[in-house]
C-alpha cells in the first residue's frame, strides 16, 4: 500500500486485468495494444485511478484520473516504472506524449527532444542523451572524405540489390555516405545480421560508413507506428522522427542530402517519405527519392525476397540480392531465420 492507494502489477496474460487498463486508458484517448513488458495500476476502492506501462526504455500509457491529478500520482507512476526499468538494467527513459502533457514530465526532470504540434512530444531522462549520441556518431564519421555528404536510414530485412542501388547512387553523387541501419530488433532478420549484411554488401565502396542507427531513428521511441501498424498517429510519428534527424543527426554527421527509395506499397514508409519531403528542406537538407529497380517487371523489395524464401524459389531469389546476402541465406546460421520467415507473413 502507498497512502490509500494499492499498487498492483498487471498480469498481461489476464484478459480481465488488461481490459480494465484498456477501458481506463480509453477515457484519455489512449490505446493499449498489450505490446509492453510491464504495466502497473494504482487502485483506490478497487477502481483504477492511475496506470503506466514500460516497453523497453519507453514509459508509455501513463494516465491519472482527473479527480486525482495534482496529487503527485503521475510522479509516483513514473518513479515506479523507472524502478522496474532499473531492475531490467535500463537507466535511460523515453516518454512519448501529447504536447499538453509535456510540462508535467519536464517538471519531473525529463528533457524535450522534439515535438510535432498538436500531436506529439518526445522527452528523455536518465543516463545518456541525444547530445551524447550525436557526439558518438560525429566521431565515427570523422574519417570520411571531406565534401558533400549524404545519409540513408535503412532496415534491410534483408539487404537487397534494391538497397544497394540507392546507396550506390548516393556514393556516386557525394564524397561520402553514412548508412544508418535501424537498430530496433523487431524484424524477422535480427539486427546484428542486418547490420553485417549491409556492411558486407557495401564492402566495395570506400566512401561509405555503415553504423547502427541507435535509439533516435526509426525506433520504438521515435517511430512506434513503424512497428505497430494502423495507428491514427502515424503522420505525427513520422514527422517527429524526421524532425529529430534534421535537427540533431544530420548536423552531427555533416549531412546535407538524404536518399530514400520510392515506396509504392507500404503506407507507413510512404507517409514517412512525405514527412521527410516536407521537413528536410526547412533545414537545408535535400531529399533524393530513387525509383525502385525491377527484375522481370517486378520491383525489388525485402518483402518480395521473404516471399520467395517462403516459396523456396532460390533461383528467383538470387536475382534480387547481393551474393553476400545469398551466401548467408544458404548457411546453417540462417536456418532459424528462414524458419521464422516461413512461419510468419509480417512485413517486418
Least confident stretch, 117-121, 161-165, 173-177, 317-321 = 117-121
**pLDDT, average across residues 176-193:** 96
Residue 74: the pLDDT is 94
Residue 1: the pLDDT is 40
Pairing of β 149-154 and β 120-126? unpaired
**Strands of 58-64's sheet in order across:** 6-9, 38-44, 47-55, 58-64, 92-97, 120-126, 111-116
Residue 14 scores a pLDDT above 50: yes
d(CA 307, CA 265): 15
**pLDDT, average across residues 106-114:** 96
Q: What is the 3-state secondary structure (H, E, C) of the chain?
A: CECCEEEEECCCCCHHHHHHHHHHHHCCCCCCCCCCCEEEEEEECCEEEEEEEEECCEEEEEEECHHHCCCCHHHHHHHHHHHHHHHCCCCEEEEEECHHHHHHHHCCCCEEEEEECCCEEEEEEECCCHHHHHHHHHHHCCCCCCCCEEEEEECCCCCCHHHHHHHHHHHHHCCEEEEEECCCCCCCCCHHHHHHHHHHHCCCCCCEEEEECHHHCCCCCCCHHHCCCCCCCHHHHHHHHHHHHHHHHHHHHCCCEEEEECCCCCHHHHHHHHHHHHHHHHHCCEEEEECCCEECCEECCHHHHHHHHHCCCHHHHHCCCCHHHHHHHCCHHHHHHHHHHHCCCCCC
Of the candidates 183, 197, 263, 196, the residue with the CA atom closest to the CA atom of residue 227? 183
Least confident stretch, 47-51, 191-195, 228-232, 256-260 = 228-232
Residue 44 scores a pLDDT above 60: yes
Tell me whether residue 291 is exposed, middle or buried, using C-beta atoms within 10 angstroms of its C-beta: 0 to 12, 13 to 18, 19 or more.
Answer: exposed
Q: What percent of the chain stands above pLDDT 70?
A: 95
d(CA 224, CA 122): 11
Residue 276 scores a pLDDT above 90: yes
Residue 347: the pLDDT is 60
Residue 32: the pLDDT is 86
d(CA 235, CA 137): 27
All domains of the chain, ordered by start, with CATH? 6-128 (3.40.630.30), 131-342 (3.40.50.620)
pLDDT digits (tens, 9 = 90+) for 220-253: 787 765 555 445 567 788 899 999 999 999 999 9
**pLDDT, average across residues 166-179:** 98
Least confident stretch, 53-57, 96-100, 175-179, 334-338 = 96-100
Residue 267 scores a pLDDT above 80: no
Residue 257 scores a pLDDT above 90: yes
Q: pLDDT class for 264, splitting at 50, 70, 90?
A: low
pLDDT digits (tens, 9 = 90+) for 56-107: 999 999 999 999 988 899 999 999 999 999 999 999 999 988 888 899 999 9
**pLDDT, average across residues 151-165:** 97
Comparison of pLDDT for 235 and 114, the residue scoring more: 114
pTM for the model: 0.91
| Mean pLDDT over the full length of the chain | 92
**pLDDT, average across residues 302-317:** 95
Residue 78: the pLDDT is 97
Residue 2: the pLDDT is 47
Residue 227: the pLDDT is 53
Residue 268 scores a pLDDT above 90: no
Of the candidates 338, 313, 316, the residue with the CA atom closest to the CA atom of residue 158? 338
Residue 163 scores a pLDDT above 50: yes
Residue 346 scores a pLDDT above 70: no
Amino acid at each position: 500500500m502507498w497512502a490509500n492507494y494499492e499498487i498492483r502489477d498487471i498480469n498481461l496474460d489476464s484478459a480481465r486485468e488488461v481490459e480494465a487498463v484498456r477501458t481506463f486508458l480509453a477515457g484519455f484517448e489512449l490505446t493499449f495494444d498489450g505490446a509492453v513488458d510491464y504495466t502497473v495500476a494504482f487502485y483506490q476502492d478497487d477502481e483504477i485511478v492511475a496506470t503506466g506501462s514500460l516497453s523497453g526504455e519507453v514509459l508509455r500509457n501513463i494516465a491519472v484520473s482527473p479527480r486525482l491529478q495534482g496529487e503527485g500520482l503521475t510522479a509516483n507512476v513514473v518513479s515506479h516504472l523507472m524502478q522496474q526499468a532499473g531492475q531490467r538494467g535500463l537507466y535511460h527513459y523515453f516518454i512519448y506524449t501529447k504536447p499538453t502533457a509535456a510540462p508535467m514530465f519536464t517538471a519531473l526532470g525529463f528533457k524535450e527532444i522534439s515535438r510535432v504540434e498538436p500531436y506529439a512530444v518526445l522527452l528523455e531522462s536518465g543516463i545518456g542523451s541525444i547530445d551524447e549520441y550525436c557526439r558518438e556518431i560525429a566521431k565515427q564519421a570523422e574519417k570520411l572524405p571531406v565534401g558533400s555528404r549524404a545519409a540513408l536510414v535503412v532496415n534491410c530485412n534483408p539487404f537487397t540489390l534494391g538497397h544497394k542501388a540507392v546507396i550506390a547512387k548516393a556514393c556516386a553523387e557525394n564524397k561520402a555516405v553514412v548508412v544508418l541501419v535501424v537498430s530496433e530488433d523487431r524484424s524477422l532478420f535480427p539486427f546484428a545480421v542486418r547490420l553485417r549484411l549491409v556492411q558486407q554488401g557495401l564492402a566495395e565502396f570506400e566512401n561509405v560508413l555503415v553504423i547502427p542507427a541507435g535509439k533516435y531513428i526509426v525506433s520504438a521511441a521515435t517511430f512506434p507506428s513503424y512497428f505497430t501498424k494502423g495507428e491514427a498517429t502515424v503522420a505525427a510519428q513520422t514527422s517527429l522522427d524526421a524532425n529529430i534527424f534534421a535537427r540533431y543527426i544530420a548536423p552531427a554527421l555533416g549531412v546535407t542530402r538524404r536518399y530514400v527509395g520510392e515506396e509504392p506499397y507500404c503506407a507507413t514508409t510512404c507517409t514517412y517519405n512525405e514527412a521527410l519531403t516536407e521537413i528536410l528542406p526547412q533545414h537545408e537538407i535535400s531529399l533524393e527519392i530513387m525509383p525502385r529497380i525491377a527484375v522481370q517487371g517486378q520491383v525489388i523489395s525485402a518483402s518480395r525476397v521473404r516471399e520467395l524464401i517462403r516459396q523456396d524459389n532460390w533461383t528467383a531469389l538470387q536475382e534480387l540480392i547481393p551474393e553476400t546476402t545469398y551466401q548467408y541465406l544458404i548457411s546453417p546460421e540462417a536456418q532459424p531465420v528462414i524458419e521464422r520467415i516461413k512461419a510468419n507473413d509480417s512485413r517486418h
